[in-house]
Structure 1
């Protein structure tokens, strides 16, 4: 090697550049110490963006859970309304069937007084479920059958011999 320090420094710089190119595959320029401040600023910006995105994901997860809870509540209300509608339909069909089976009853006579005073339906689902029969009478009451052909004249059916559809079938046809 030569005694000139400038030549030795230049040779070392060339060797160092060759090593950096070999290690970095020449794709990235070697880091400049002056760029350290820029790298720190960029890192702080990326970290703040990551924190903001993390907060946003947390908010979206909370909103999703709230929507799931709301949908679950709507489904529960729909089931309750459906049970109440089924019970009302069954009771109405029972009244229609009882009117069909009593043709001697005078249509102009005042209706019989109810056995118990009519009350608003209970708001408590357990109390409502207590009123709903579990023995399958709802299915039997909503099958659309009537007590016979005796009530056709009283109802004013045009076709003799045709069996009238149940209320449930008439509602389904209307919808």
Structure 2
């Protein structure tokens, strides 16, 4: 990337945000922040119990991520966040107008398989349907790229870097 931007690695649960985010940050030479760490304990308890979050649950979480992103403007950084709805991404952009999104995408079967094999994560596979139902992919006027999650983490990260480098203009639209 030509200038330091804050990159939000987004997508449904199980796409690899927590794996790809740090790898992407390392490739870009910027810090990484795990989006799950911004959740208040009540959100984690709700998801752990198999209940999807509502928008009112997400606003403080998104505001905390947005605050981190705002503090990294001009310096660069990578943060993970599902950012499933346009309104969530709009909220992040309101806090940090220069954010760029990397939407990790993939086949539902692959993602479910990956979710079923991960250890120690609070998000149960049962919530994957609600994640896909909520997902609103990036729109043409949003700064960002979609990156397929097939292959190794290193291949996915390389694909993300190439896609970001190919963006003609990384200023907010």
| TM-score in same-fold range (> 0.5) | no
- The answer to which structure has the higher helix fraction is 1
* TM-score (structure 1 length as normaliser): 0.17
Higher Cα radius of gyration: 1
- The answer to which structure has the higher strand fraction is 2
Greater RCO, 1 or 2 (C-alpha within 8 Å, sep 6+) = 2
